[in-house]
């Protein structure tokens, strides 16, 4: 058995909820809370920040897949869906909602353990992928800052921005990148403007 988890159990049938809670405890995990419908599940997930959620699909009001989607958006956690049946269409919808594993009722302790392990692993992969995507978006935003054609005046060398205003090269580059300028003078300009200091 791995690290102890705090599991939110979401099931509208009291006896089934108690049975799932018992299996969770048998595995050495804690039942962080119990919800009777999807709306309560989302509220409790936000409040309790559980390490995993085991949730029925068919419940009155907000169903399990809608609740799973909301939990994934608002307070992500590994989610195991609980259903009386399993179809490929249901599994596809569950995956799209952020579900990491599923259990068919009535599960045994080994199946609960396996589902929690799989959901936690998939959740870790999903969070890593989200982080890498965010880093990639940031990197692409930096790359885009100075890409494409820059209209530059042949005479004064100012650059025309997207609004049609002409800016000094230094101004334009500083406002479109993280570059900063320090000023000096090349040998040719030094000779041209200050011949007395030239080589």
Nearest C-alpha neighbor of 5 from the set 50, 48, 38, 40? 50
Cα–Cα dist 24/120, whole Å: 14
3-state secondary structure of 6: strand
- The confidence score (pLDDT) of residue 159 equals 85
DSSP-assigned letters across all residues of 100-122: -EEEESSP-HHHHHHHHHHHHHH
| Domain parsing of the chain, residue ranges | 6-137, 148-180
For residue 191, give the H/E element and its range: helix 187-193
Give kind and range of the element (H or E) at residue 13: none
Residue 146: predicted pLDDT: 58
Encode the chain (199 residues) as per-residue pLDDT tens digits: 468 999 999 999 999 999 999 999 999 999 999 999 999 999 999 999 999 999 999 888 888 999 999 999 999 999 999 988 777 787 788 888 888 998 998 999 999 999 999 999 999 988 888 888 888 888 777 666 656 677 888 888 888 887 888 988 888 877 777 777 777 778 888 788 778 875 5
The SS3 call for residue 147 is: coil
pTM equals 0.66
Helix (H) or strand (E) holding 19: helix 14-26
Query: HSE-up of 130 (CA within 13 Å, CB side)?
Result: 10
The count of other CB atoms within 10 Å of the CB of residue 153 is 11
Of 3.50.50.60, 3.40.50.2300, 3.90.180.10, 3.40.190.170, the CATH number of 6-137 is 3.40.50.2300
3-class state of residue 193 by DSSP: helix
Radius of gyration for the alpha carbons in the chain, expressed in angstroms and rounded: 29
Residue 184, C-beta contacts closer than 8 angstroms, at least 6 positions apart: none
pLDDT value of residue 129: 86
Contacts of 199 (CB under 8 A, 6+ apart): 187, 191
Gap between the Cα atoms of 70 and 73, Å rounded: 5
SS3 of the chain: helix, strand, coil, percent, to 5: 50, 15, 35
Distance (Å, whole) CA 42 – CA 53 = 10
């Amino acid at each position: 058995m791995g690290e102890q988890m705090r599991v939110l159990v979401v099931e509208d049938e009291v006896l089934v909820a108690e049975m799932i809670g018992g299996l969770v405890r048998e595995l050495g995990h804690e039942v962080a809370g119990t919800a009777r419908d999807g709306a309560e599940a989302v509220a409790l997930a936000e409040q309790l920040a559980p390490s995993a959620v085991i949730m029925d699909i068919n419940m009155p009001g907000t169903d399990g897949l809608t609740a799973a989607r909301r939990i994934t958006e608002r307070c992500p956690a590994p989610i195991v869906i609980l259903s009386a049946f399993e179809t490929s269409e249901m599994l596809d919808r569950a995956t799209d909602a952020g579900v990491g594993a599923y259990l068919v009722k009535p599960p045994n302790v080994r199946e609960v353990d396996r589902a929690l392990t799989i959901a936690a692993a998939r959740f870790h992969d999903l969070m890593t992928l989200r982080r890498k995507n965010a880093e990639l978006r940031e990197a692409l935003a930096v790359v885009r800052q100075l890409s494409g054609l820059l209209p530059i005046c042949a005479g004064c060398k100012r650059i025309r921005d997207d609004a049609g205003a002409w800016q000094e090269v230094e101004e334009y580059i500083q406002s479109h990148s993280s570059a900063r300028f320090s000023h000096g003078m090349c040998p040719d300009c030094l000779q041209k403007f200050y011949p007395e200091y030239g080589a």
